[in-house]
Amino acid sequence: MPLPASGMNYTGSVNTVTLGGGRRKTTVTVGGAKTVPYGGPRAACGHRPAIAIDVLDAPPEGWPAPLAEAYAGVLGDPAAWARKAVEEFGADLVCVKFDGVHPDKGNLGADHAVDVTRRVLDAVGVPLVLWGCDNAEKDNAVMPKISEAAKGEKVLLGTVTQDNYKNLTALALADGHFLIAEAPLDINIAKQVNILVSDMGFPLERLVMYQTTGALGYGMEYAYSIQERERLAALGSDKLMAAPLICDVGTEAWGAKEARATSEQAPQWGDAARRGPAWEAVTAVTLLQSGVDILRMRHPTAVATVRRYLDRLWGTKA
Amino acid sequence: MIAIGERINGMFTVVKDAIAAHDPRPIQELARQQAAAGAAYLDINIGTAAADQEGTMKWLVETVQAAVATPLCLDSQKPAVIKAGLSVCDTSRGVLLNSSPLNRKSDPDVLTKYASMAMEAGGGLIALTMDSGGVPQNVDRRVEIAAEILTKAMELGMMPEKLFIDPIILPVNVPGAQAQPGNILAAIDQIRLMSDPPPHITMGLSNLSQGTAERPLINRTFMIMAISHGCDSAILDVLDDVLVDAVATAEMLMNKQIYSDSFVKAYRSTSGAQR
């Protein structure tokens, strides 16, 4: 009697997404896993996760010193900031986050957003993630211009939600971009957003899912378990849940008081210059275990730590 | 759920007439309709429609696979008829053989024959929980036979995921048969504990309501009851939209599909092979 095979045979896989086109000098391919994260044969693990470094369209307010110091001199210049992220810190992708157009954070207009988009596209050769301000009304006004300015570059546009998806989906379809489908830590809504977007004729193969992200100590386990379940759904051939995943580690980790508090405010927690990056790096590597494919990150030390971790895990250099 | 479309069966007049007239069109139309409705396999059963069963099986297989890409479920109690079907069947799509009991008085090795043909074709096998003594009337004998089938199949090298155990549903209105649906559910519970992964559980659903009033209602209701006990396949009428929607809902409630507000639509947009 033969020994029964003990391995799990999954029938499905995570979609493979390749970002970057047009004038991009590199492309980034993520997804493709046919097994649980780091749980099966090497050949089934798909593509190595990618790191996107955040570049803000306008100088950030209230960034803790370790973060602000890492980008000293470029915080008001998105193009220089993007170059630094790629050339010095080795970003696979640049994520331009348009906080400055938010009505409460500067209320800058579409002209500004287009200008930033063009300058960053000119400054770096890596693929871009272009992420709105998370105010539906303003995003609907500004994102069409951003999408058009990046036409043909196969960027990752974000985000569409259950309540606001038609505009951006139509744009991404027309301009050849990829889309981030967002759900508020809710796997059922995540599936619904994907269905809605797909109903508009947008290919599921051009979607990346964003479950919102919790940092270490701030609900990371919710994001973790949902992402874990999404991976299992993809492996079980649920085509509606097979998109790769993106996490916003930088924003969330640096929102935690454990990362933000200065050495003077919390001397018992150790040196703030090391604590913040550590908080970000631990959040990132933990979420990697749940199957995330693209990490949005901020601090160069955290980025370097996670990259070393990925190098060891994958036995390759990015 | 692995839905096996039941409609290409010589017991249906339209199929019987098409076989008699050698007219492929009604058969191919049924194949297309069932494939579009999400059948993972299409059952091919000659019934009593033709004297030349082997030749008719070949003709049906060729006729159906010329119309759709859906894999077939070759349905006959005669190994020679199955063999004839396999000789022209495109098994690269997958195939199911339907079905063999544990043994027969006239053919003690019938299970070995079916399992060997299934393995050679790289396909699956539906095995009935009956033996030379007939269909068991209680839970325990059904479970015993299922265990013997599973053991035999594994001895032959067939893994549980290729094996579909059919606990045999009889018409509920047959005298004395009304305890059987409950017995079948109890048997399913135990059969699923026999291996990990367990064998599939399938059933000829429509048989339950033969000769009754309210046929669709009985079929739909028992399908949902069986799914709640772990049944993951059935030979059924995939053209019954209410039944398919009920299956989608039952599978969602059993956490087999992730809920979304459009869960029925999501299920219907998923191909039969991936449901």
Whether B258 sits inside 8 A of A11 (CB atoms) is no
Domain count, chain B: 1
The residue among A150, A165, A194 that closes a domain is: A150
Same domain, A127 and A216: no
Task: Please report the pLDDT score of residue B206 as a whole number.
Answer: 97
Chain B interface test: which of A230, A238, A241 (most B C-beta within 10 Å): A238
Tens-place pLDDT, residues A60-108: 999 999 999 999 999 999 999 999 999 999 999 999 999 999 999 999 9
Task: Please report the pLDDT score of residue A7 as a whole number.
Answer: 63
CA B240 to chain centre: 16
DSSP label at A44?
G
Whether A12 sits inside 8 A of B257 (CB atoms) is no
Task: Please report the pLDDT score of residue A214 as a whole number.
Answer: 86
Residue A125 lies in a domain: yes
Question: Which secondary-structure segment (H or E) carries A157?
Answer: strand A156-160
Task: Please report the pLDDT score of residue A103 as a whole number.
Answer: 97
DSSP label at A94?
E
- Residue A188 C-alpha, separation from nearest chain B C-alpha, in angstroms: 5
Q: CB-based contact (8 Å) between A11 and chain B?
A: yes
A147: pLDDT confidence band, cut at 50, 70 and 90?
Answer: very high
Task: Please report the pLDDT score of residue A213 as a whole number.
Answer: 87
Task: Please report the pLDDT score of residue B253 as a whole number.
Answer: 97
Residue A11 lies in a domain: no
Cβ neighbours of B105 (radius 10 Å): 8
- Provide the residue type at A133 as one letter: C
B81 Cβ neighbours under 8 A, 6+ residues apart: B46, B53, B54, B57, B74
CA–CA separation, B77 and A133 (whole Å): 66
Whether A191 sits inside 8 A of B266 (CB atoms) is yes
Question: Is residue A32's pLDDT more than 70?
Answer: yes
Same domain, A43 and A123: yes
Domain that holds residue B16: 2-274
Rounded percentage of chain A residues whose pLDDT exceeds 90 = 90
- Residue A215 C-alpha, separation from nearest chain B C-alpha, in angstroms: 25
Chain B residues in contact with A195 (beta carbon < 8 A): 260, 262, 265-266
Question: Is residue A217's pLDDT more than 90?
Answer: no
- Residue A19 C-alpha, separation from nearest chain B C-alpha, in angstroms: 26
Task: Please report the pLDDT score of residue A6 as a whole number.
Answer: 59
Chain B interface test: which of A187, A192, A230, A231 (most B C-beta within 10 Å): A192
Q: For residue A32, how many C-alpha atoms fall within 13 Å in the half-sphere facing its CB?
A: 14
Nearest to A54 by CA among A292, A254, A210, A224: A254
CA–CA separation, A316 and A75 (whole Å): 32
Task: Please report the pLDDT score of residue A2 as a whole number.
Answer: 60
Strands B163-166 and B200-201: parallel
Task: Please report the pLDDT score of residue B209 as a whole number.
Answer: 97
Task: Please report the pLDDT score of residue B200 as a whole number.
Answer: 98
Cβ neighbours of A315 (radius 10 Å): 9
Provide φ and ψ at A274, rounded to 5°: -100, -30
Cis peptide leading into residue A159 (ω within 30°): yes
Do the beta carbons of residue A164 and residue A192 sit within 8 Å?
no
DSSP-H helix ranges across chain A? 65-70, 78-87, 110-123, 136-149, 166-175, 187-199, 220-235, 249-253, 257-260, 272-289, 300-314
Domain that holds residue A278: 211-311
3-state helix, strand, coil split of chain B in percent (to 5) is 50, 15, 35
DSSP label at A15?
P
Whether A188 sits inside 8 A of B157 (CB atoms) is no
Chain B residues in contact with A11 (beta carbon < 8 A): 274
Q: For residue B186, how many C-alpha atoms fall within 13 Å in the half-sphere facing its CB?
A: 12
Residue A174 lies in a domain: no
Q: Closest to A195 (Cβ–Cβ): which among B154, B159, B265?
A: B265
Residue of A nearest to B267 (CA): A238
CATH code for the domain of B143? 3.20.20.20
Q: Closest to B270 (Cβ–Cβ): which among A4, A9, A239?
A: A239
3 state SS for B128-152: ECCECCECCCCHHHHHHHHHHHHHH
A198: pLDDT confidence band, cut at 50, 70 and 90?
Answer: very high
Domain count, chain A: 2
Q: Tell me which residues of chain B have a C-beta less than 8 Å from any C-beta of chain A.
A: 154-155, 157, 159-161, 195, 257-262, 265-266, 269-270, 274
Chain B residues in contact with A238 (beta carbon < 8 A): 257-258, 270, 274
Task: Work out the mean pLDDT of chain A and round it to a whole number.
Answer: 95
Chain A residues in contact with B161 (beta carbon < 8 A): 9
CATH code for the domain of A98? 3.20.20.20
A48: pLDDT confidence band, cut at 50, 70 and 90?
Answer: very high
Same domain, A46 and A142: yes
CA–CA separation, B147 and A211 (whole Å): 44
DSSP label at A4?
P
Whether B258 sits inside 8 A of A229 (CB atoms) is yes
Residue A286 lies in a domain: yes
- Residue A40 C-alpha, separation from nearest chain B C-alpha, in angstroms: 18
- Residue B225 C-alpha, separation from nearest chain A C-alpha, in angstroms: 23
pLDDT along chain B (275 residues), means of 10: 97 96 97 97 92 96 98 97 98 97 96 97 98 94 97 95 96 93 97 95 97 97 98 98 98 95 94 88
Task: Please report the pLDDT score of residue A318 as a whole number.
Answer: 58
Residue contacts between A and B (CB atoms, under 8 Å):
44
Tokens 């059924």 label which residue? B236
3-state secondary structure of B43: strand
3-state helix, strand, coil split of chain A in percent (to 5) is 45, 15, 40
